[in-house]
Structure 1
Amino acid sequence: MKSLIILIFTLLISISSFAQSHREEVSKNAQTYYDYMTAQNFDGVLDYMYPKVFEMASRDQMKAGMEQMFSSPDMKIEFLSNDVTKVTDKKEVEGVTYAAVFYNSKMKMTFLSEKDKSAEDQKAFLEFMKVTMDTQFGEGNVASDPKTMSLVINMDATMFAIKDPQYDGWKFIGNDDAMKQLVDSIIPKSVRTELLKE
C-alpha cells in the first residue's frame, strides 16, 4: 500500500512538472516573440508566427506591412511592454498541441502629423482619438498625454500557441477580430472553446 502511494505521488509530481514545463516553454517563447515586437525585430516576430498565417499574406507582405505601420510619417507606434500573464493547459488534436496565452500589452501612439497644429486643434484631435480608442479598448485603458501628442493604450489580450510537428517549436497566432477568420480555420472550435474559458 505504501509503495502504491509513493508511486501515485511520484506520478502526480511528474505530471505536474510536465504540465509546468509546457507552460514555461510557451511562456518563454511568447516573451521572446513579444520582445521582438517591442524591439521592432520583424524577422524575429515572423519566425515565431504560425506559418499557416502566410497563406493569408506572404511573409514578405506581412513584413512590409509591419514596417509600413511602424514607420509612418504621421504616427509613431511603440510597444512599451508585453507581458505574459497566464498560459493554459494544453490540448492535443490530431497530433497538434495547442495552448492559449493571456498577456498584457502597453502601446504608445504618437501623432506626428499634429505636432505643427495649433494647441486648440491638437487638443481637439487628441480628445477625438481618445474617445475612438476608449470605444475599442475600454474607458480607463487609454491615457492621453497632450505634451507629447500621444495616447498610451493598456490592453489584455490572448493568442494561441501551436506546436505542430510540421514546424520547429511553439508558434503563435493572435486571437483578435482581424485574425478571427484565420484562427477559426486553423484552430478547432472545441480547442478554442476549452482553452479560452480557463
Structure 2
Amino acid sequence: MKQVLLIATLALITLSANAQSLSSKDNAAIDAKVDQFLKLMEKKDYTKVLDFMYPPIFEHTSKKDMFQIFEMLEQSGIELKFKNTEVLNKQGLKTIKDTKYALIKYRFELDLPLNTDELRGYAPLLVPVLQSNFGKENVTYNKSQNLINAKGEKFLMAINDPKYSDWLFLIYDSSMRTAIEKTIPAEVNNQAAALAR
C-alpha cells in the first residue's frame, strides 16, 4: 500500500511540474522579444535591457545591482564580448490571475580578452570565478591568445502581466533568488525551479 501511495504521489508531482503548452501567438511574441533582449545583451546595452525587465522586480533589487558585475569588469578594463546567443527551448508555466509565465532556456558565449599585463595577472582569479558560475568544463583560458572563453546555458522567465502591454523578463538565476521569490507566485517559482535544473 505504501508503494502504491508513493507511486501515485510521484505521478502527481510529475504532472504538476509538467510545462503547459504556449499558444502560437504567445510563442511568436516571446520569440520576437527574446531576440531583441539577447541582441541588446550582445551589444552590452544594459540600459535598454532593463526596459525589457518585469518592473515589480525593482521593488526587491535595484537596477544598478542587476548588471553590476558586468559593469565592474568593464571598469577594470575587461571588454566583455557576448556572442552566439541562441534560444534552446521555451516552456509554458502556470497562469495565475490572468498573468502568463514561461521559462526560456538560452545558450551564449562570453569572450574576455586579456589585453594588458595587468589583466593577464587577473586570469588566476577570473578563471575560477567563471568556472564556479558556468561549470569547469565550460571555461577555457587560451594563454597564447590571452583569451578566456565561457560557454553557458541560462534561463529567463517571461511574464505577460495584464498591467503591462507585452511580455517582459526576469533573469532566472540563483543570484536573483530572493528577489524572484518576492516577485513571482510560489507555485510558478517552484514549477520553474523544477524545470531549470
Q: Please, what TM-score do these two structures have when normalized by structure 1? A: 0.75
SS at match of 1:93: coil
Q: Distance in 1 between matches of 2:96 and 2:158?
A: 13
The Cα of 1:62 is off from its aligned counterpart by 5.7
Q: In the alignment, which of 69, 73, 77 is matched to residue 74 of structure 1?
A: 77
Quick one: structure 1 residues 64 and 133, their matched pair in 2 at CA, closer, same or farther if it must change by over 3 Å? closer
Post-superposition offset of 1:93:
0.4
Alignment of 1:9-158 (within 5 A): 19-59=23-63, 61=64, 65=68, 68-69=71-72, 71-112=74-115, 115-116=116-117, 122=120, 125-158=122-155
- The corresponding residue for 1:12 is none
Alignment gaps of 5+ in structure 1: 1-15
Offset, 1:89: 1.9
Among the aligned pairs, what percent are the same residue? 20
Following the alignment from structure 2 to structure 1, what is the Cα–Cα distance between the partners of residues 164 and 105? 23
SS in 2 for 1:165: coil
1:42–1:66 contact (8 Å) kept in structure 2: no
Q: Name the aligned partner's letter for residue 74 of structure 1.
A: G
User: Hey, which bits of structure 1, 4+ residues long, moved more than 6 A?
Assistant: none
Distance (whole Å) between structure 1 residues aligned to residue 138 and residue 49 of structure 2 = 25
SS of equivalent to 1:157: strand
Query: Which structure 2 segments of 5+ residues have no match?
Result: 1-20
Looking at structure 2, the residues matched to 26 and 196 of structure 1 have their Cα atoms a distance apart, in angstroms, of 20
- State how many pairs are aligned: 175
Letter of the structure 1 residue corresponding to residue 105 of structure 2: F
2-side partners of 1:167 and 1:57: how far apart? Answer: 19
**Residue 156 (structure 2) aligned to one of 155, 159, 163:** 159
Q: 1: CA distance between counterparts of 2:67 and 2:181? A: 25
Contact 1:90–1:98 (CA under 8 A) maintained in structure 2: yes
* Bigger Rg over Cα: 1
Distance 1:39 1:88, change over 3 A: same
Partner SS, residue 161 of structure 1: strand
Deviation of the 1:116 alpha carbon? 2.6
Q: Which amino acid aligns with 2:140?
A: A
2:188 alignment partner in structure 1: 191
